[in-house]
Amino acid sequence: MSGTQDPLVEPDRLAGELDRAVPPVLLDVRWRLTGPPGRDDYAAAHLPGAVFVDLDTDLCGPPGAAGRHPLPDPAALQAALRAAGVRAGHPVVVYDGGDGMAAARAWWTLRWAGHRDVRLLHGGFPAWLAAGLPTSTAVPTPEPGDVEVRPGALPVLDAGRAAALAAAGDGVLLDVRAAPRFRGETEPIDPVAGHVPGAVNLPAPAYVVDGRFPAAAALRQRFAAAGVTAGRPVGAYCGSGVTAAQAVLALHLAGRPDAALYVGSWSEWVADESRPVATGE
């Protein structure tokens, strides 16, 4: 990733950084789409010094017409991040339960909010355990941070821009949900099955496996097979903008920091019955 910070950090390196006099702020964002809450996992054991941040209530806005995980209110996000000890210009590391989805959405949200120095623990909590590193049940009381949320530092798609990108021959809109959901054969969560007309299906296992990303060259090859090539605008969506944030992270790793996230994703798209729905391949 020439000229940009590597957004991933391995457990051993993070352990060394946490031993410094001024360690990075550590955010535990463990989360499951259908529950139970990640706070229970945090209470059982977490990385020493980590502060729990709730994806649903701290990093996203309330569900509604804008989708199940819409953009947060900037003032509310700033308050949550300051309560977690996030400081302007100070490094932040986020981690989840291992699949990398919630951590990727947290990484994306902080980057979107203008905080540049944020990384994801590669492999999440399981990778930390596998490395034989210590855990804690102590709940820290961080000194309040002073981060200022400045929205818009990463590109965002709304429904109109997502439709235009999918329809444009010079761009590609990636739908990273499982193929049966893309084809409209099943829809376990949202009220309508199918996909945005013109979108290209690239399910998450093509670019991440068990929360770990392949090398940049392999990522570029896999995205290129889906039509993502140099100079072609690219965006990604999923059900509610969480898995797609992981795709945007993978695109950053592949050298595409311009990749846009359709935050509302399918859950916003189908909230308006006038929007077209495609099925099949």
> Using one digit for the tens of pLDDT, what is the confidence trace for 64-82?
999 999 999 999 999 999 9
- Summarised one tens digit per residue, pLDDT across range 159-213 is 999 999 999 888 999 999 999 999 999 999 999 999 999 999 999 999 999 899 9
Higher pLDDT among residues 4 and 234, named by residue: 234
Q: How confident is the model at residue 2 (pLDDT cuts 50, 70, 90)?
A: very low
pLDDT at 91 over 70: yes
Q: Check if CATH label 3.40.50.720 holds for domain 156-269.
A: no
Give residue 31's pLDDT.
96
**Which of 30-34, 124-128, 135-139, 152-156 comes out lowest in average pLDDT?**
30-34
Tokens describing residue 216: 């940049």
* pLDDT tops 70 at residue 251: yes
pLDDT greater than 60 at residue 4:
no
Average pLDDT rounded to a whole number, residues 215-226: 97
Choose the CATH number for 8-130 among 2.40.50.140, 3.40.50.800, 3.40.250.10, 3.30.2130.10.
Answer: 3.40.250.10
Q: What are phi and psi of 94, to 5 degrees?
A: -115, 150
Coil vs helix vs strand at 164: helix
Domain limits of the chain? 8-130, 156-269
**For range 120-135, the mean pLDDT:** 98
* Confidence at residue 34, expressed as pLDDT on a 0 to 100 scale: 82
Q: Is the pTM of this model over 0.85?
A: yes
Which of 65, 66, 178, 72 is closest to 54 using CA atoms? 72
Q: How high is the pLDDT of residue 35?
A: 81
DSSP bridge pairs for 113 = none
Residue 3 has pLDDT above 70, yes or no: no
Q: What's the average model confidence in pLDDT over 231-245?
A: 97
Residues with a catalytic annotation lie at 238
- For all residues of the chain together, what is the average pLDDT? 96
pLDDT at res. 37: 83
- 148-174 confidence digits (pLDDT tens): 999 999 999 999 999 999 998 889 999
Place 254 in a pLDDT band, splitting at 50, 70 and 90.
very high
Average pLDDT over residues 114-122: 98
- pLDDT of 253 reads 97
The pLDDT assigned to 215 comes to 96
Percent of the chain past pLDDT 90, that is, above it, reads 94
